[in-house]
Homo-oligomer: A and B are copies of this chain.
């Protein structure tokens, strides 16, 4: 199935949700599903679903619906899940440790290969079998281990400095948990998890601003 280019960010943001629901359907041995049935499960309109999935080729068949396995495989492919990614965590604080201990990411091909911190007391300690290293070795490690993704879990004030180091050493993807907006050169992707922003969105909506 030929992949079309220029897919909008809105569609990309919806793809992981499609992947999750299709995985569930596969686990329940569902072979095919109509856009209407998928719509009832996933909460997007049937028309939205048809439009989204059309971006990637001609999947649905009138009167038959979608072949769940084919669609799942194609979405995994688009999400880049047919590859393996070497990841490192920088900052072994609360969030860094939680991510390091969360083994579900390994199951979907994101291998944690290193953890770095500035606190000498942590050096040599292991989280999930990965030793915490001195941040001074970061650049060297990235090149040696062909690291693809840096997971930044350091405080805001040093996040940009860390980002600059990892990018300089060839990292192409940054998963940023620091509550700052990082400056990155073209060709590098940053995806933010801004927890405070998310919590403030919740309080805003609870406060009835809609």
Contacts and interface: CB of A to CB of B under 8 A. Distances in A.
Nearest to A175: B202
Interface stretch (A28-36, A57-65, A95-103, A130-138): A95-103
Interface string A46-62: 00000000000000000
B95 A102 contact: yes
B191 A199 contact: yes
Contacts of A17: 181, 197
A7 B208 CA distance: 10
Please give the count of copies of this chain that the complex contains: 2
Contacts of A201: 12-13, 15-16, 191
What bracket does the count of chain A residues touching chain B fall in? 35 or more
Contacts of A5: 209-210
Interface stretch (A75-83, A116-124, A139-147): A75-83
Q: Which of A7, A12, A104, A209 has the most CB of B within 10 A?
A: A209
Contact of A79 (B172, B173, B204): B204
Q: Which 3 A-B pairs have the closest CB atoms?
A: A80-B207, A16-B197, A98-B98
A204 B15 contact: yes
Interface string A171-210: 0110100010100000001010111111111111111011
A202 to B, nearest CB: 4
